[in-house]
Amino acid sequence: MKTHYYLGWFSNLFPESLGRVLQMDITDRKSLVMISSNPSIYEDDGATERSWLDQAGIMFNEYHLINYRVQKEDAQKLIHNASVVFLLGGNILKQNGFLKEYALSDLIKKSSAVVMGASAGAINMSAKWLCSKNFGDKVEVSSVYDGIGLDNFSVLSHFDLENNMELVQSELSPLSEEMNVYASNKDCAVRVKGDKIDIFGNVYLISHSEIQKLDETI
């Protein structure tokens, strides 16, 4: 049963209830493979995200980071053998381009690994996402990008929803006519396991231009 975690950004550590669910889901701990969102930058990349797992007591035999230091063919082998694939937070557009350049998206979709993404990584896991300067993206014209497409919905992750609810609703309304959009701030998670979707933190569903806050289930 495939398991996907669309995370916001955790200010400190994974809260205890989320950590417990992750402990149950991540049973194979041979190899953690992290995918950079800024693959030209090598210093401390992934250190924060790895610390969340460490503090939750989820350790791996091997740790790998995929960036431009790793050859394309080697990166693909790492994905093939991964227990967990973690798409790191940071630059959404750079990560999106890197996934295409290294032909990783289909491999991640076919993988039996638990797939996780934080902030930018969560957005790139989704089927489609809106790139907009109103969301902090460095573009002049808004456009919709294809993500990996692990699940048939869109994600806006780690954005200040509470102070920008009208903006979020108006920006995402057109896309929400095509598919559901899950919008969350930091310290949040959307967990998909098989056909079941679980919610942690303040997560909103935008569907057919209507927005509603979802009940927590974790």
Q: What is the 3-state secondary structure (H, E, C) of the chain?
A: CCEEEEECCCCCCCCHHHHHHHHHHCCCCCEEEEECCCCCCCCCCCHHHHHHHHHCCCCCCEEEEECCCCCHHHHHHHHHCCCEEEECCCCHHHHHHHHHHCCCHHHHHHCCCEEEEECHHHHHHCCEEEECHHHCCCCCCCEEEECCCCCCCEEECCCCCCCCHHHHHHHHHHHHCCCCEEEECCCCEEEEECCEEEEECCEEEEECCEEEECCCCC
Distance between CA 46 and CA 37 in Å, rounded? 9
CATH topology of domain 3-213: Rossmann fold (3.40.50)
pLDDT digits (tens, 9 = 90+) for 118-158: 999 999 999 999 999 999 888 999 999 999 999 999 999 98
Q: Looking at residues 42-51, what average pLDDT do you find?
A: 86
Its pTM surpasses 0.75? yes
Q: By the 8 A CB rule, do 189 and 6 touch?
A: yes
**Does residue 44 have a pLDDT over 80?**
no
Give mean pLDDT, residues 94-101.
97
Tell which phi-psi region holds residue 93, choosing left (phi > 0), alpha (psi between -120 and 50) or beta: alpha
Residues 1 and 193 sit within 8 Å (Cβ to Cβ): yes
pLDDT at position 1 is 87
Burial label, 57 (beta-carbon count in 10 A; 0-12, 13-18, 19+): exposed
Q: Taking residues 12-23, what's their average pLDDT?
A: 95
In the predicted model, what is the mean pLDDT of residues 98-125? 97
Mean confidence (pLDDT) of the chain:
95
User: Is the CA virtual torsion 63, 128, 97, 107 positive or negative?
Assistant: positive
How confident is residue 213, by pLDDT bands cut at 50, 70 and 90? very high
Which pLDDT score, from 0 to 100, does residue 11 have? Answer: 86
Confidence (pLDDT) at 33: 98
